[in-house]
Amino acid sequence: MKRVGLLTSGGDCQALNATMRGVAKSLYNELGGDVEIFGIEEGYKGLIYNEYRHMTGRDFAGILTKGGTILGSSRQSFKSMRTPDENGLDKVEAMKKTYRKLELDCLVILGGNGTQKTANLLREEGLNIIHLPKTIDNDIWGTDMTFGFQSAVDIATDCIDCIHTTAASHGRVFIVEVMGHKVGWLTLHAGIAGGADIVLIPEIPYDIDKVCAAIQKRTKAKKGFTILAVAEGAISKADAKLSKKEYKAKMADYPYPSVSYELAELIAQKTGADVRVTVPGHTQRGGSPKPYDRVLSTRLGARAARMIIDEEYGYMVGIVNGETCKVPLEDVAGKLKMVDPNAGIIEEAKLIGISFGD
C-alpha cells in the first residue's frame, strides 16, 4: 500500500488541479486499491497544523479544467520556517510529525520557488519529497516550462489585444502592467504575442529617455498610439545602480501604486502624450487552464506517479526539450531562471522593432 500526500503552496494558478489529477489518476490506474491519497489543506499551513483529508477518485473527477486549487493554499515564508510560531511551535518538527502520523511514503508538493526551498528543507530532514514546478512566472531553474505560465501568457496577451482598439481609437499611450516582480518571462512573451511596442522587464533596466524616444519615433511615423508591456518589477537604470539599502529607502517613500504609474507620469511630462495604465492583476492567474497547461500538467503529474511507484524521491519533475525528467531538488532549490538580456528571443524581438528601453 502506497500512502501519498498532496500539497499546494504559494500563489494559486490555473493548472494546480490538473496536475494533482495527473498524479492521482496515474496512481489509481497503476496501483488500483493499493494507494491512499491525503490532501494537505492550505499548503504548508495544513502540514504544520495537522489539517488534511483523505481523498478518493471522486475528488479528482471533473477538475482538469478547474482553476485554483481544491486543497486551498497559503504563503508560508521559507525564511520563517525555522522560526517558532506565536505559540512556540517548531514548524519543521510539526510538519515532520504530520507526515509521520499519516505514515506517508511520499509527499508531492506543488509550488514555486519559495515552496521549492521548503520542499528541499523537508528532503534534508529525511522526508520523501517530489516537487512539481508551478508558477505563472516560469522562473524555476531546471525546467524549460512551469505549469500555469502559458495560461497566464494567454490572459495577459488577451488584455494587450483588447487595449489595441481603444489605444488606436484615442491615440493614447497605454501601459499594461504584467505580473513578475523578479523575472520578465511573462511580460516578454505576452508583449511579443500581443504586439506591444515597448517591453520593460526586470532583467533589462530601462532609460526613461529611450522609452520616450521610442514613443516619439512612433508618433513621428504617424503610428497614432503606443503600447507598453511593463513587468511589475521593471526597474530604471538609475534605480538599478542603487545599493539594496538605498533602493529600499527609496521604495519606503514611493508615492506611486507601482512602477507603471511612475512611468505614466514621466512619459506624460516628457512627451505630452495622453497616458493610461491598465493592470490585469490577479486575473492572470485565474480561470481555466489553457490546453497547453492541461497537457503539461498531466504529463508532470503522471511522471511524478511513476517516480512514486519506483520510489525515486528527492526530485523535481521538470520538462526539458519536450521530455519529462527528474531533477535533484538540491541542485535547483533557491535558483531563479532569469531572462538572459542576450538571449535569442530578445534579439529577435528587437529585430521586429520592440524597444526594451535600453
Residue 91 counted as domain residue: yes
Residues 142 and 155 in one domain: no
Residue 39 counted as domain residue: yes
Residue 312 counted as domain residue: yes
Whether the per-residue pLDDT at 75 is higher than 90: the answer is no
Whether the per-residue pLDDT at 203 is higher than 90: the answer is yes
Q: Which residues are catalytic?
A: 137
pLDDT of the residue at 249:
87
**Taking residues 114-131, what's their average pLDDT?**
97
- Cβ-based neighbours of 318, under 8 Å, separated by 6 or more: 133, 140, 142, 143, 144, 324, 325, 326, 327
Q: How confident is the model at residue 38 (pLDDT cuts 50, 70, 90)?
A: very high
Task: Give the bridge partners for 40, in sequence order.
Answer: 7, 52
Whether the per-residue pLDDT at 311 is higher than 90: the answer is yes
**Taking residues 206-226, what's their average pLDDT?**
94
Is the Cβ–Cβ distance between 304 and 4 less than 8 Å?
no
Residue 97 counted as domain residue: yes
Residues 162 and 278 in one domain: yes
Q: How confident is the model at residue 107 (pLDDT cuts 50, 70, 90)?
A: very high
Rounded distance between C-alpha atoms, residue 74 and residue 281, angstroms: 18
Torsion of CA 299, 305, 308, 310, to 10 degrees: -80
Q: How many helices (H) and strands (E) does the chain have?
A: 13, 11
**Taking residues 116-121, what's their average pLDDT?**
96
Torsion of CA 140, 142, 144, 150, to 10 degrees: -20
Residues 179 and 160 in one domain: yes
Its domain, for residue 215, covers: 150-285
Domain at 47, CATH number: 3.40.50.450
Domain at 216, CATH number: 3.40.50.460
Measuring CA to CA, which residue among 292, 262, 23 is closest to residue 136?
Answer: 292
